Amino acid sequence: MLAFRRDRSLANSPLSASTCLVIAGAGDLGSRLALLRIGRDADVVAVRRRDVAHHPGVRPVRADLATGEGLSRLPKRPDALVFCAAPDQRDEAAYRKLFVDGLRRLLDAIDTPRLVFVSSTAVYGQDAGEWVTETSATEPPRFNGRILLEAERELAAHPGGIALRLSGLYGPGREAMLRRARDGLASRPHFTNRIHIDDAAAALSHLLDLPSPHSLYLGNDDLPVMEHELQSWVRREEGLPAVDADTAPITGRRIANTRLRASGWQPEHRDYRSGYSAQLVRPGL
């Protein structure tokens, strides 16, 4: 592996003019980040396994993080790197191949003073309504959380490494919760956490500009909510009849965004009502 720059003043420096930013994983989230950085960075490099849609101000590069094919085309010393790739399949082998092996491979190919890695709140195992912060115990019950935690340990060896653990992304094209509400089944007394994808992209951009960031942040909106409360709100807004909530014990956890907010980030969509409003089908409209 390359010998990374150990100068903490470099690792903690925000991006400035004439910078090069590599976004490894130019899917929905990465593409939104790329558009936010146009004009702020002289060279925005969008990396994807398949062809990247052309956009003025973004330089597309085709490369596969899971296999290493095409990594030689990337800038060797960009000012910053954001890893926000998603696996082709939701199984343990695909996760390990991308998040652990792929991250190692990328760090061998690139020397950068700042690396932001998109992780997940799946690294937590709390499941009785507890509040969770950056200092909470990580005991992931499933393979995805365990592998992401392993990748975070790889990241920790990098002096400019920042992990952003995002909760569930939602927004245009992401309507699983809305579909469940419309199905009308009794919903669980389960805490659900989310962040609008535009706010997640803004959080990544914000972390690139922080002068002295922490090594870990949680990305969530301001209001963890019981799943049945969210679904009841959707049904009321769409003119659907109410359904009863399940009476099982409370499960899930509540993700606190206190550290990220204290750093200066503010979500445009502070809660589910703001974030889902544009996706609702209201009667008479």
Burial environment of residue 46 by CB neighbours within 10 A (0 to 12, 13 to 18, 19 or more): buried
pLDDT tops 90 at residue 270: yes
What does the pLDDT average to over 3-28?
Answer: 63
Name the band, by pLDDT with cuts 50, 70 and 90, for residue 4: very low
What does the pLDDT average to over 203-214?
Answer: 97
Burial environment of residue 194 by CB neighbours within 10 A (0 to 12, 13 to 18, 19 or more): buried
Average per-residue pLDDT for the chain: 91
Q: How many CB atoms lie within 10 A of CB 136?
A: 18
CATH of domain 10-174+194-223+256-269: 3.40.50.720
pLDDT at 12: 53
pLDDT in tens, 121-168: 999 999 999 999 999 999 999 999 999 999 999 999 888 999 999 999
pLDDT at 10: 38
157 vs 2: which has the higher pLDDT: 157
What does the pLDDT average to over 232-239?
Answer: 96
| pTM, two decimal places | 0.92
Phi, psi at 151, each rounded to 5°: -65, -40
Which DSSP state fits 51? Answer: P
pLDDT at 9: 36
For the record, the structure tokens of 234 come out as 């959707």
The letter for the amino acid at 156 is A
Phi, psi at 120, each rounded to 5°: -145, 150
Burial environment of residue 141 by CB neighbours within 10 A (0 to 12, 13 to 18, 19 or more): exposed
Q: State percent of the chain over pLDDT 70.
A: 92
pLDDT in tens, 82-103: 999 999 899 999 999 999 999 9
- Please tell me the least confidently modeled range out of 38-42, 168-172, 218-222: 38-42
- Per domain, the residue ranges of the chain are 10-174+194-223+256-269
pLDDT at 243: 87
pLDDT tops 80 at residue 16: no
